[in-house]
Amino acid sequence: MILTDNNTQSKTLGDWASIAINKHLQKVVKHEKDVLKDKNPEDLHQMRVGMRRLRSAIVGFAPALKLPKPATEKRIGKIARILGSLRDLDVLDAALENDYKPSLPAKEQKYLETVLDDIKKQRRYALKEVKETIESKQYRVLKESLNEWLKQPEYHKIAKMPIDEVLPDLLLPEISRLLLHPGWLVGNEDKIVELKAVEKILAEQGQLLHSLRKETKRVRYQMEVFSEFYSENYANYLEDIKAIQEILGKIQDSHVLTEFLEASAGNIERVPTLNSELAKANYDAWQQWQNLQTKYLSVDKRKGFHVAILEPKFNTAS
């Protein structure tokens, strides 16, 4: 994601804050009418991503910003969660309908129809909440306040500092917080190869991995804001963060799907083939996770991450 405009040289911290906020706000606004029409799930996905990136920008640039009261990180997060509830149902429906149903025995396919009907019912309620949110006064005031701020931004004094002097200071606390997350230690005692052992660990500590995934997503969004200011080394770390997010996302999706099936069926054993496929998907994702986990528990790799942040290449930014 590139945030350039026609003059990227000599930008201050405040300049880049307003560029990021404007970019993500416009992405949100661009998709809201299509979300209300509810024709394509991708519109909802893009609006949700825009809202999350907007929240990340406001949090990441917080030391520089004097934002209006309606434009709080908490309010943006609430709207993002409402969009996310609908998006999660769309992902669940697509996974069951396209990825799993075609390969199931006829008996399980028939049962799955009742689960899909249940998803559609829940989606109607979630869509109603999304539409009410987009049409609400609170959402309108949020947009208006940010647009007014962008016309004449207000900053704290530190916003005047050149970006090259403060960029590592913005990013290093984010990286440290990520690397200190306890999720890195889930199942790291031994190389776990048995399917049942993986199932047990995910049942007991899956929420820690889900929390780590959310942390990687937050760091990814913040790193992407400044990706053009860094070299290939930085880009490689960013790619790893994306991979970790995606792998842990697969594990979380399987968990959500299993919970939904249990809530609808009362017992997931009623769909043994599907249950087996979900377990295998989790196992495959776990193997990928352990490779990256080992990589990032290495002292050298973690030090290298910090060094990558400390070495921006501003001569390439223009």
pLDDT, residue 9, reads 53
Q: How confident is the model at residue 31 (pLDDT cuts 50, 70, 90)?
A: very high
Q: How confident is the model at residue 6 (pLDDT cuts 50, 70, 90)?
A: very low
Looking at every residue in the chain, the average pLDDT score rounds to: 89
CB atoms within 10 A of CB 272: 13
Cα–Cα distances in Å, from 170 out to 63, 175, 189? 9, 10, 33
For the chain, which residues make up each domain, given as ranges? Answer: 12-161, 163-318
Which of the pair, 32 or 256, is modelled with greater confidence? 32
Domain 12-161 fold is CHAD domain (1.40.20)
Give the range among 12-26, 167-181, 252-266 with minimum mean pLDDT: 252-266
∠ CA 166-169-174, nearest 5°, is 140
> Tens of pLDDT along 178-203?
999 999 999 887 666 688 888 889 98
pLDDT, residue 8, reads 47
Residues 6+ apart with CB under 8 A from 299: none
Mean pLDDT calculated for residue range 267-288: 86
- In this prediction, what percent of the chain has a pLDDT beyond 90? 69
CB atoms within 10 A of CB 67: 19
Which of the pair, 106 or 194, is modelled with greater confidence? 106
Angle of the 106-134 helix axis to the 137-151 helix axis, nearest 10: 60
pLDDT, residue 260, reads 82
Closest CA to 124 of 86, 93, 167, 88: 86
Inform me whether the pLDDT recorded for 310 exceeds 50. Answer: yes
Q: Tell me which amino acid residue 242 is.
A: K
Q: How confident is the model at residue 312 (pLDDT cuts 50, 70, 90)?
A: confident
Inform me whether the pLDDT recorded for 40 exceeds 90. Answer: yes
> Tens of pLDDT along 149-168?
999 999 999 999 998 889 89
pLDDT, residue 259, reads 83
Q: How confident is the model at residue 4 (pLDDT cuts 50, 70, 90)?
A: very low
pLDDT, residue 65, reads 96
- Print burial letters for 230-260: b (CB count within 10 Å at least 16), e (below 16): beeebeebbebbeebbebbbbbbbbbbbbeb
